[in-house]
């Protein structure tokens, strides 16, 4: 079984949340005060834990979760925690509302692609392979057609052995090149794909000793037992891809297997291609050759989306192959972008109606201190007692996010003063050099008439 390319959680901009390893819940789903990098925010974390359970049990289809709370209260952190809890087998795609407009693609196209990246397809494939331990390998060479002084491989004779039988095969130049490039030697267990000639080297055979086998005292290769059964066999391979991966391949009309060898540029995909892909996947599912794994699409700062994008999203949620949506926003009553309608969180009511809402609340001073300590450990910043207190104060007065962001500049300032320990004065200096949002707004107001419009 081989996992060619996994749809592991693709979470970008993770830097500030690298200390989050999960939701920090006990086996009964209760939030531990400090666990897995998570501090406080008990109710929101427990609610997120229930969402994870529902996703894993397949009971979340077509629903959406909405994380709401003031800036810096851990909405994005909780979404990262959910992704961690779901593990690498559930596709998790993260997108920020503003990203929808920063692309050359149409905004509905960006959203559509993001939705399809959040749906995994696990394909089971049977392929005919030659499998066995290499007991003999003889490479034939011939003169290079354009360079008479160079020898090139023209083919090979190879002997393969399993516990049941031994066979000699002759292979062509292409397979020979594969054998050479994979460094196949006598004593290796390999597969040769019957159709494509692709060679996979599984490792050294642990229970084969022949005269041509070189013994090493130290080896980096994996040890694998001698294969059982016949040399030629049907083997099951499992590839996990996303619907979007399939769309890209179908759009290029390439073979499905070209997708296991790297991607290509982003571009628009036609609706026909998507319909074709959906049809194909449904057929595979009906034939028992594939499973669909609904994943999560996380849209941070969802208030950045305008009415068109939001109605597209609401409509897309209803479709058969839709991922689970997780949205987050720190806005209260505000206008829906592209309209002059004021609505809670800048979202249309019909969308709001379908959301499971999770609230995040402001942190206490102690919780802020705890989070800053965890971040300091994560960023390997050595904070003096007073420096920590200075950051806690900034966290309380300004925002936790700002305090977290000042940590690294403070450490750099300390370093340029020849210290590894960060003192309160370094934090103070960093605070002067880097403005928080309130300061920058004030700054802009002061210079209103001098700034570019
Ligand atoms: N409960 C928590 N436990 C541990 N770390 C946290 C917690 N809440 C927030 N953090 C950390 O504090 C910083 C700010 O939090 P985060 O970015 O998640 O806030 P947010 O609610 O998404 O804010 P915004 O509305 O501005 O997007 C991040 O580095 C985050 O990882
Ligand atoms: Mg956020």
CATH code of the domain in which 171 resides:
2.40.50.360
CA-only gyration radius of the chain, Å: 28
SS3 label, residue 374: helix
Same domain (yes/no): 79, 135: no
From 219, 237, 255, the end of a domain falls on: 237
Nearest CA owner, ligand 1 atom 19? 72
Q: Could you tell me the CATH number of the domain that includes residue 397?
A: 1.10.8.60
Span 210-233, pLDDT tens digits: 766 666 666 667 889 999 999 999
Query: What was the pLDDT predicted at 103?
Result: 77
Span 258-305, pLDDT tens digits: 555 554 555 788 888 888 989 999 999 999 989 998 889 999 999 999
How far apart CA 24 and CA 32 sit, in angstroms, is 6
DSSP β-bridge partners for residue 130: 192, 232
- Expressed as residue numbers, the domain containing 219 is 125-237
**Number of the ligand closest to the Cα of 363:** 1
Span 70-85, pLDDT tens digits: 988 999 999 999 989 9
Domain assignment present for residue 287? The answer is no
Same domain (yes/no): 131, 103: no
Nearest CA owner, ligand 1 atom 7? 74
pTM for the whole thing?
Answer: 0.73
Domain assignment present for residue 258? The answer is no
**Number of the ligand closest to the Cα of 77:** 1
Residues bordering ligand 2, an ion, CB closer than 5 Å: 75-76
Same domain (yes/no): 131, 228: yes
Domain assignment present for residue 184? The answer is yes
Same domain (yes/no): 133, 231: yes
Closest CA to 360 of 113, 132, 66: 66
Residue indicated by tokens 């340029």: 416
Query: What was the pLDDT predicted at 317?
Result: 83
Same domain (yes/no): 33, 83: yes
From 359, 377, 411, the end of a domain falls on: 359
Residues with CB under 6 A from ligand 1: 16-17, 20, 37-41, 69, 71-77, 330, 360, 371, 400-401, 404
Alpha-carbon dihedral sign for residues 40, 42, 45, 49: positive
Q: Could you tell me the CATH number of the domain that includes residue 79?
A: 3.40.50.300
Nearest CA owner, ligand 1 atom 6? 74
Q: Is the pLDDT reported for residue 145 higher than 60?
A: yes
Greater model confidence, 214 or 194:
194
Nearest CA owner, ligand 1 atom 8? 74
From 237, 262, 283, the end of a domain falls on: 237
For ligand 1, what atom is nearest to the CA of residue 330? 25
Number of domain units in the chain: 3
Contact status, residue 219 vs residue 154, Cβ threshold 8 Å:
no
Span 336-368, pLDDT tens digits: 999 999 999 999 988 888 899 999 999 999 999
């Amino acid at each position: 079984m081989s996992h060619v390319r996994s749809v592991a959680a693709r979470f970008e901009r993770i830097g500030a949340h690298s200390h989050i390893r999960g939701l920090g819940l006990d086996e009964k789903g209760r939030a531990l005060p400090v666990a897995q990098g998570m501090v406080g925010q008990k109710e929101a974390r427990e609610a997120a834990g229930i969402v994870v359970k529902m996703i894993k049990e397949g009971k979340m289809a077509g629903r959406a979760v909405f994380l709401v709370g003031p800036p810096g209260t851990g909405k994005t952190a909780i979404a990262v925690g959910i992704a961690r809890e779901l593990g690498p087998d559930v596709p998790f795609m993260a997108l920020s509302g503003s990203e929808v407009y920063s692309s050359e693609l149409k905004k509905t196209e960006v959203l559509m692609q993001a939705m399809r990246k959040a749906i995994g397809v696990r394909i089971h494939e049977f392929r005919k392979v030659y499998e066995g331990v290499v007991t003999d390998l003889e490479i034939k060479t011939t003169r290079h057609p354009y360079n008479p002084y160079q020898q090139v491989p023209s083919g090979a004779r190879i002997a393969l052995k399993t516990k049941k039988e031994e066979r000699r095969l002759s292979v062509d130049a292409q397979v020979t090149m594969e054998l050479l490039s994979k460094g196949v030697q006598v004593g290796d267990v390999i597969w040769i794909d019957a159709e494509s000639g692709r060679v996979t080297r599984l490792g050294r055979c642990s229970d084969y000793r022949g005269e041509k086998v070189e013994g090493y005292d130290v080896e980096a290769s994996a040890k694998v037992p001698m294969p059982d059964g016949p040399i030629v066999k049907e083997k099951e391979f499992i590839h996990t891809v996303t619907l979007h991966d399939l769309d890209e391949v179908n759009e290029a009309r390439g073979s499905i297997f070209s997708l296991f060898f790297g991607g290509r540029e982003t571009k628009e995909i036609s609706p026909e291609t998507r319909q074709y892909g959906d049809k194909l996947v449904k057929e595979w599912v009906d034939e028992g050759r594939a499973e669909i794994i609904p994943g999560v699409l996380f849209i941070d700062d969802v208030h950045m989306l305008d009415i068109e994008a939001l109605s597209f999203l609401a409509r897309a949620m209803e479709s058969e192959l839709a991922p689970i949506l997780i949205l987050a926003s720190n806005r209260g009553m505000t206008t829906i972008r592209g309209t002059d309608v004021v609505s809670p969180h800048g979202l249309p009511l019909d969308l709001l109606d379908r959301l499971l809402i999770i609230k995040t609340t402001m942190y206490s001073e102690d919780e802020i201190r705890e989070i800053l300590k965890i971040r300091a450990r994560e960023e390997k910043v050595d904070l003096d007692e007073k420096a920590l207190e200075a950051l806690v104060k900034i966290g309380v007065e300004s925002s936790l996010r700002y305090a977290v962001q000042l940590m690294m500049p403070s450490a750099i300032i300390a370093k340029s003063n020849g210290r590894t320990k960060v003192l309160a004065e370094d934090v103070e200096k960093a605070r002067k050099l880097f403005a928080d949002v309130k300061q920058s707004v004030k700054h802009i107001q002061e210079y209103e008439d001098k700034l570019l419009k």
